[in-house]
Amino acid sequence: MKANNGLVLVEPGIVPPLDADFRPAVLANRRFRESLGPEPVPVHLALERGDGSVSRYDTVVAAPGVAGAAGNFCYLERLVKFLLWSRGGYRIHVGGPAELGRRLEAHYRESATGRFDASLIGQRVYEKALEVVVTSPERVPAERERTAALGRHWDGCRIGFDLGASDRKVAAVRDGEVVFSEETPWDPRSFTDPRQHFEGIMESLRRAAAHLPRVDAIGGSSAGVYVGNRVQVASLFRGIPEPLFNERIKPLFLEIKRVWNNIPFEVVNDGEVTALAGAMALKDNAVLGVAMGSSEAAGYVTPEGNITAWLNELAFAPVDYNPEAPVDEWSGDRGCGAQYFSQQCVGRLVPVSGLPLDPGLPLPEKLVGVQQAMARGDERAARIYETIGVYLGYAVAHYAEFYDLKHVLVLGRVTSGPGGQGILDHARRVLRGEFPDVADRLALHMPDEKEKRHGQAMAAASLPALAATV
C-alpha cells in the first residue's frame, strides 16, 4: 500500500482516468483517524492572525507504539498547511505532543516548502515572522473569529473589475443593471514595470466609465491578499522587483483611487468575490466559491452571510498526498490545488490525454484547444474534464471538513463550454459514491456562461458602499 512519509495513502474508489496515482487527501486523513485505536492523542491547533482573530482546529494523532504513529507528522504537517492557507495566521499554537510541535517548527525553518509558506504568509501577508508555539492543550488560545458584511450594494453608477493572469474583466453597472461588460487579454505576470499594470487597469476602467453618466464607486477583485486596498501578496505582480513592488505595487489601488477623485473604492481577493457572486445568485449563504482560472481562487460566505478574516488561498492547499504529485510552480510543493483546478491542470493533462496540441502553446491557448475538441465530441478532451471532475469531488469532500457548507459554486474560464458540466457531473458522481453524507447536505452549482466569465466583475461592482448624504 502506498505511503507518504509513513502516512498510509488510499486509492480512490473512482479513479481519475488520466491520473491513476491520485491519492486524495480526504481519504488518507479519514483512514489515518480510523486507525488510531481506542486512545488517540488529542492535538489542539490555533492559528492567530494580525487582527487578533484566532481559528481553532482540533484533531488526533496516534499514541507512541501504535502502528499509525509513523504517519503522525505527515498527517499533522499537511493538515497545518491546509489550515495556514485556508485560515491564515502568523502564529501557530500546537497543544499536543511536544516532539510533533518541534518537528513542525523545524519544517518551517529548514525545508524549502516550509520556508516558502513561512515567508509568504508570515512576512509578506502579516509582516511578521511565522512562529510555532509548542504548548500544553489547556494553554491553546480560544477561538476568536471576526466576520464582516461584503458587498451587495447596487445603488448608483458603479464599475467592477476582475484581474486574472490571462485577462482582465470589467463591468459597468447602473442601479443594479449591467450596461456594459468586457474581457481584455493580458499577461501581467510578465510585466516588469508597475506602469504596465496601472495603464491596463485604467484602460478598462475608462472603457466602462464611457457607458455611465458618472462613476460613483469602483470595486475590484484579484488573486492575492489585500489589506485596506493595499497589495500584500499577489501572483499577478510576480515580475515586479521587490523594491518596486513595495514602492509602487503595494499602493497601486490607492493611486488609482486618487485618480478617480477618491470615490468609494474597494479591492478584495477574487475568491471572496466568487463566493459573494454565488451567494447573491443562489439567494443563500454558507457558500464556498471556487474559480478555476489561471490558478485556483476560493472564497467563503458564512452561514450568516458574512466573510471572515481567513485567507482562503486554496491554490496552495494540498488535495493530493501522492509523494510524486505535480509540483506547484511557485511554492515547489506537491499536490496543491493550483495544479488540479486551473489552466495549469489542463495544460499538464493534455499530453496524457493524447490530444495533439502544440506543447509550446501558452496555457490559455491550450485551454481553447481542449474546449474546441470537447465541442467536437472528442473523447480525449472529455477525459480531461472527467479527471478534473473526479479531482473536484474528492476535494469538495476535503473542503467540507474545514468549512460549514451548504453550497459550492464552481466557475472560471476552465469551466466554460460543455466540459464545465462534465466537471460538475463527475464531481457529483464522486460525492454520491464515496461521500453520501456530504452529498446529502451540500449542493454543487455552476452559473451560466455569462456569469462564469463576467460574474466576478459584476459582483465586484457591488463591493463599495456609497457615502451617506446629509
Distance CA 26, CA 10 (A): 9
- Main-chain dihedrals φ then ψ at residue 37, nearest 5 degrees: 80, -175
Residue 356 lies in a domain: yes
Name the H helices within 251-336: 252-259, 270-282
Asked if residue 364 and residue 418 are part of one domain, the reply reads yes
Which whole-number Å values give the CA distances from 456 to 73, 91, 426, in the listed order?
A: 39, 32, 25
Residue 311 lies in a domain: yes
Q: How confident is the model at residue 452 (pLDDT cuts 50, 70, 90)?
A: low
pLDDT digits (tens, 9 = 90+) for 418-441: 999 999 999 999 999 999 999 999
Asked if residue 51 and residue 159 are part of one domain, the reply reads no
Residue 242 lies in a domain: yes
Name the most confidently modeled range: 64-68, 154-158, 291-295: 154-158
Residue 18 lies in a domain: no
Asked if residue 427 and residue 297 are part of one domain, the reply reads yes
Last residue of a domain, one of 145, 175, 202: 145
Asked if residue 160 and residue 87 are part of one domain, the reply reads no
**Cα dihedral 14, 20, 25, 29 in deg (nearest 10):** 70
Strand 147-148 with 307-308, pairing: antiparallel
Asked if residue 425 and residue 290 are part of one domain, the reply reads yes
Q: How confident is the model at residue 451 (pLDDT cuts 50, 70, 90)?
A: low
Asked if residue 397 and residue 291 are part of one domain, the reply reads yes
Q: What's the whole-number mean pLDDT along residues 194-216?
A: 97
Residue 96 lies in a domain: yes
Q: How confident is the model at residue 355 (pLDDT cuts 50, 70, 90)?
A: very high
Residue 7 lies in a domain: no
Q: What's the whole-number mean pLDDT along residues 358-367?
A: 94
Distance CA 168, CA 446 (A): 21
Asked if residue 279 and residue 131 are part of one domain, the reply reads no
User: Of 225 and 340, which is predicted with more confidence?
Assistant: 340
Last residue of a domain, one of 99, 121, 145: 145
Q: Into how many domains does the chain fold?
A: 3
The confidence score (pLDDT) of residue 352 equals 98
Residue 21 lies in a domain: no
Would you say residue 1 has pLDDT above 70?
no
| % residues pLDDT > 70 (the chain) | 98
Domain range for 91 is 35-145
Asked if residue 197 and residue 329 are part of one domain, the reply reads no
Q: What is the CATH number of the domain that holds 261?
A: 3.30.420.40
Distance CA 164, CA 168 (A): 6
Helix (H, G, I), strand (E, B) or coil at 259: helix
The confidence score (pLDDT) of residue 23 equals 98
Last residue of a domain, one of 245, 269, 293: 269
| % residues pLDDT > 90 (the chain) | 79
Q: What's the whole-number mean pLDDT along residues 88-115?
A: 96
Residue 15 lies in a domain: no
With a CB cutoff of 8 Å and minimum separation 6, the contacts of 323 are 4, 5, 334
Asked if residue 259 and residue 283 are part of one domain, the reply reads no
Asked if residue 261 and residue 139 are part of one domain, the reply reads no
The confidence score (pLDDT) of residue 470 equals 34
Asked if residue 121 and residue 182 are part of one domain, the reply reads no
The confidence score (pLDDT) of residue 449 equals 61
pLDDT digits (tens, 9 = 90+) for 139-177: 999 999 988 888 899 999 999 999 988 889 999 999 999
Would you say residue 468 has pLDDT above 70?
no
Asked if residue 153 and residue 125 are part of one domain, the reply reads no
Would you say residue 469 has pLDDT above 50?
no
